[in-house]
Structure 1
Amino acid sequence: MFVSMELSFGFVSVMLILSAYVGLFLERGHLLMVLLLLEAVMLGLFLFLLFGLGESVSNLYLCLVLISFGACEAAVGLSLLVSLVRTHGNDFVSTLTIYEC
C-alpha cells in the first residue's frame, strides 16, 4: 500500500507540473497569474523530487536548493510586478513590449 501511495504522489506531482505549463502557455492576461503558475511548477517539481524519486540524502539536498531558488524567483517576480504596476498602472502582459526601454 505504501508503494502505491508513493506512486500516486509522483503522478499527482507530474500532473501538477503539466497542468501549470498548459496554464502558462494559455495565460495572456495578468503577470500575477503567470507568477502563480511558475510557483505551481516549482511546487510540482518539489513534490516530484520528494515523492517521485525516492528518499535519499542527495534528493533532500536538491529539494532544499530547489526551494531556495523558488523563494528567490518569487521575490524577484514580485519586485518586478510592483515596479511594473508603478510604471504602467496595471499588470497586463499585453502592455509589455520590447520597444519600451
Structure 2
Amino acid sequence: MYMGMFFLIIFIIGLMSVSLNRYHLFMVLLCLEFFVLILFITMIFYLNFFSNEMFFSMFFLVFSVCEGVLGICNLILLIRLHGNDYFCVLNIL
C-alpha cells in the first residue's frame, strides 16, 4: 500500500512539473517521458507482486520508445521551422 502511495505522489509531482514547464515543448516531452518511466516502474512492481509474467512490459517499452522518438522528431521539425520550441510562436490557425 505504501508503494502505491509513493508512485501516486511521484505521478502528481510529474503533473505539477508539466503545468510549470508548459511553455517549452522540450520540457513537456521530458515530463511525458517521466510519466512513462513511472508507469513502467509501477507496472513492473505490480506484475511482480501478483506473480504474472513480464512479457507485457517489453511491449510497453517498445511503444514508449516509439512515442519518444516521434516526440523528438516533432521537436526537431518545430525548431527547424520556427527557430525555437516555445509554444507562443506556434500559429494555431
User: What TM-score, normalized to structure 1?
Assistant: 0.77
CA drift of 1:9 comes to 4.4
Percent of paired sites with the same residue: 32
Q: What secondary structure sits across from 1:14 in the alignment?
A: helix
What SS does the corresponding residue of 1:84 show, helix, strand or coil?
helix
Letter in 2 for 1:40: F
Amino acid at match of 1:46: F
> What is the rounded CA distance, in whole Å, between the counterparts of 1:32 and 1:10 in structure 2?
29
**In 2, are the aligned partners of 1:29 and 1:92 still within 8 Å (CA)?**
yes
Give the one of 28, 39, 44 matched to 1:50.
44
Consecutive aligned runs of 4 or more in structure 1 exceeding 6 Å deviation = none
Distance 2:75 2:31 in 1: 14
- In the alignment, structure 1 segments of 5+ residues that lack a partner are 1-6
The 8 Å contact of residues 14 and 44 in structure 1, kept in 2 or not, is answered as no
Q: Distance in 1 between matches of 2:4 and 2:62?
A: 21
Gaps of 5+ in 2: none
1:3 aligns to what?
none
Q: 1:94 and 2:91 equivalent?
A: no
List per-residue Cα deviations over 1:44-101 (Å, max 9, x = no partner). 00011111352411xx1222121111101110000000000000000012222321xx
- Matched position secondary structure for 1:20: helix
Tell me the equivalent position of 2:55. Answer: 61
Amino acid at match of 2:24: H
1:91 is matched by which residue type in structure 2?
D
